[in-house]
Chain A
Amino acid sequence: MANIQMKKLCKNFGNVKAVIDLDLDIQDKEMVCLLGPSGCGKTTSLRMLAGLERPSSGTILIGERDVTDLSPRDRDIAMVFENYALYPQMTVFENIAFPLRVKKLPKDEIKKKVEEAAEILEIENLLDRGITQLSGGQKQRVAMGRAIVRNPSAFLMDEPISHLDAKLRAHMRGEIKRLQKDLGTTTVYVTHDQLEAMSMADRVAVMNDGVLQQLGTPGEIFNDPVNEFVAGFIGDPPINFIDGQLVSEGGKMYIRNDEFSFEIPQQRVSVLTETPSVVFVRLGIRPTHFSIHNKQADQMGIPAEVYISEPLGEVQIIDLSFRDKIIKVVTSPDIKTEIGEKVWLSFDFDKANIFNKETGMKIG
């Protein structure tokens, strides 16, 4: 049980800056997901935590102890690798028992602990098998077993379920989260799958190009993204961006372009005037925050044309073309539309985010 602190952590591979100034504070018993696209430095960060990669600069503390220069074996952490990294010549039992055998625990104690771990993971019947005979999901469980028998101060998991099929993945999300809560072990979980991160994490750390973008609860990350990248990376179907200009007129503020002009609600204006120089902005609106009308209700309408609709059973996604872009809207499946039909979109301004078009940062 321990908290983890990374301070100004950097890693360069030659000219490649894989991780840049990573500051991350992880509480005891917390589960933090490192989320980001492939190649953004998630694995590198985790490997530095594990001691498999030496940071170019910065410090790492685990449970208030500076472990930056310690070897992996002295850090008291367990890791689940993306490729599982099981010992190929050993049986399932021997794989799970390995960390205990290393500590020279008595045989019967090892047996007891391995069997306990196997029971939690429901792999008691596999204990005598060789590794090459296991399916991906079984290997994944063995790798988890090897991590949990040790009762380490932290778990590090690098995309442990990304090689499983969709159904098993959905199942394992819940299993791993519950296991983490039961054991209460601080966990850093790496994934590129936003659904995984949102559903499992206490807090999500979104990374891009080696830089931490935002650290927050799934709710914060979803509703209050700090920039366009975070807004665009989280959510499926993804958030819609609509460009416009900030205009001040008669004490009121508007977002305007050739097709529409929206008055900005009074409570948002005060925030916006803190950055008065910004003129070009981008509205970020989630697909669920739109509603579709077949005639212009009031000033607040975006004219669009139905491109295609995708019924998904419980909901439907309607793709609408607006200018040369597609806006995706999630609606009830009861709404019937025709290809090419003209419609108007309105949206809930309270839930929309306004970004600076040049910097991509959220301004209101």
Chain B
Amino acid sequence: MDAVTEERYLPWGLLAPALIIILLIGVFPLFYNLFLSMHFWNLTRPELGMRFIWFKNYTSLFTSSLFWEAFLRTFVFTIVAVGLEMCLGFGLALLFNRDFKGKSIVFPIILIPMITTPIVVGLIWRYMFNGEFGFVSWILQVVGTDVHAVLSNPATALPAVIFVDVWHWTPFVFLLSLARLGALPRSPYEAAEIDGASTWQIFKWVTFPMMKSVLLVALLLRTMDAFKIFDEIFIMTQGGPGDATEVLSLEIYRQTFRYFNMGKGSALAIVMLIVIIIISRIYLKIFQKEEAVVQQ
């Protein structure tokens, strides 16, 4: 092989392993999923085989109230959980951006939830919420409420899983915000102080505008992640009681691995993907608009 051909093929050779892996675990499943979502294929009815049925899976989804309820529930979960995470995370970061006694001890403790795997988070809180020996239930009894099995009560199960997600991911927003706060230039603050701005005006007009981009990134990542939450809820409630915590990804699981309705499960997965893409597009638009103001 002469040098020129080598130069032409070498990059491909080097990229090949990575490309093959991406094709196998990313691209192929996506298209296979798309393919399945337009078929009827129920593993409990092997005699019916796999039949191409156009968009029937989708239409049956969109006409099912169960789907719309799960959809709405997922939205509520996402908006409330992510909203709280953003406020708490950014607020904590503002507190931590100045020096106080014991900061170096509190700081790593705050980060612990973030570095815990979702399954373990689910397990921890399943025990904490346990009606007989759970810590949270004990506290609820001490303060005199009659709710004790929080996760078995349809009224409290969804708030409880929201609480767990907030506990789990607030540190993420906190860390991202704190890193950015620490990297903000000092000079606009000095200028603002000289220009006579109050603490609140400085926050509103100096800090917040400079933090907007990182907050948008945190918001985007958290929204996409919360929208497809699975592990914690699966471990804690399995979507119950009834379907009080049944979010979209649990619905996918139920369709696919309980009812073995591969086509319908795949269609749900595609719908979820599209929603996530739409959300991220909206955020990117906002993001670009922000940038445009700065770049103008």
Contacts and interface: CB of A to CB of B under 8 A. Distances in A.
Interface residue SS majority, chain B: helix
Nearest to B190: A52
Please provide the 5 A-B residue pairs with the shortest distance between their CB atoms, ordered closest to farther: A85-B187, A89-B209, A130-B296, A99-B195, A85-B191
B193 interface: yes
B188 A88 contact: yes
B205 A72 contact: no
B295 A85 contact: no
B287 to A, nearest CB: 14
Contact of A102 (B195, B212, B294): B195
A132 B190 contact: no
B235 interface: no
B74 to A, nearest CB: 34
B201 interface: yes
B194 interface: yes
Given A83-B187, A133-B296, 11 more contacts: A50-B194, A71-B193, A72-B194, A73-B196, A75-B194, A81-B187, A85-B188, A85-B191, A88-B188, A91-B293, A129-B296
A280 interface: no
A90 B209 CA distance: 9
B103 to A, nearest CB: 22
A280 to B, nearest CB: 48
A76 B293 CA distance: 31
A91 B205 CA distance: 12
A128 interface: yes
A300 to B, nearest CB: 56
Interface in A150-191: 150
A71 B187 CA distance: 16
Contacts of B206: 87
Contact of A89 (B191, B193, B201, B294): B294
Contact of A88 (B192, B197, B210): B210
A130 B196 contact: no
Interface string A39-55: 00000000000111000
Contact of B190 (A85, A102, A133): A85
Interface residues of A, number: 32
Interface string B207-222: 0011010000000000
B194 A77 contact: yes
Contacts of A246: none
Interface residues of B, number: 22
Nearest to A80: B191
Interface of B: 185, 187-188, 190-198, 201, 205-206, 209-210, 212, 293-296
A187 to B, nearest CB: 15
B293 A79 contact: no
Contacts of B194: 50-52, 72-73, 75, 77-79
Contacts of B192: 87, 98, 102
Interface string A82-117: 010111111100000011011100000000000000
Contacts of A88: 185, 188, 210, 294
A73 B209 CA distance: 21
A146 interface: yes
25 contacts: A51-B193, A72-B190, A73-B196, A73-B198, A75-B194, A78-B195, A79-B190, A81-B191, A85-B188, A86-B191, A87-B191, A87-B205, A87-B206, A90-B209, A91-B296, A99-B195, A99-B196, A102-B196, A102-B201, A103-B196, A128-B296, A130-B295, A131-B294, A132-B295, A133-B296
B61 to A, nearest CB: 43
Given A81-B190, A81-B191, A102-B201, A89 B212 contact: yes
A262 B210 CA distance: 68
Contacts of A146: 191, 195
Nearest to A79: B194
A81 to B, nearest CB: 6
Given A83-B187, A85-B191, A130 B197 contact: no
Between A71, A88, A91, A131, the greatest number of chain B beta carbons within 10 A of the residue's beta carbon is seen for A88
Nearest to A95: B191
